[in-house]
Amino acid sequence: MKTWKIVLLAVVVLGIIAALLVYFLVYNKPHPDYATMDPDMELPAEQLYRDFVNDEQRAHERYNGKVLQVQGQLAEVEQVDDMVILSFVFEEGMFGGEGVRCTMLESYKEEALSLAAGTHVTVKGFCTGFTGSDVILEHSSIP
């Protein structure tokens, strides 16, 4: 009976240790600082959009999960609740302009809101994919 209690106690202790490791190393790990990261690639915003339109699968493999720095002529600056989105528009689709949309980091909101449509701007962000109409860059900053 004693060995049964020792084995049970060991399993409980190992379970607690495993739970603590998961909490501290996985759940509670720090987020990357996208604003200070070096871009994996630099390219015109229109080229990024055209690559996704022309060969979506290849573009997903090439760009998704990477920090990209794009430049181009800004089409519009949107503010939705507390989120600011910079848009580069290259085609008119069924539901409005299609192109590249960049969701700005909190610390770059004021600078983004001060930009005017038609301004040539460079934006760095984390590419999360293509919605069928827009390429999405999240955690974006103005380098």
What pLDDT score was predicted for residue 143? 86
Q: What is the pLDDT of residues 50-99, one digit of tens each?
A: 999 999 999 999 999 999 999 999 999 999 888 999 999 998 888 888 99
> β-strands 134-141, 96-104: how paired?
parallel
Rounded to two decimals, the pTM is 0.78
CATH for 41-141 is 2.40.50.140
* Domain parsing of the chain, residue ranges: 1-30, 41-141
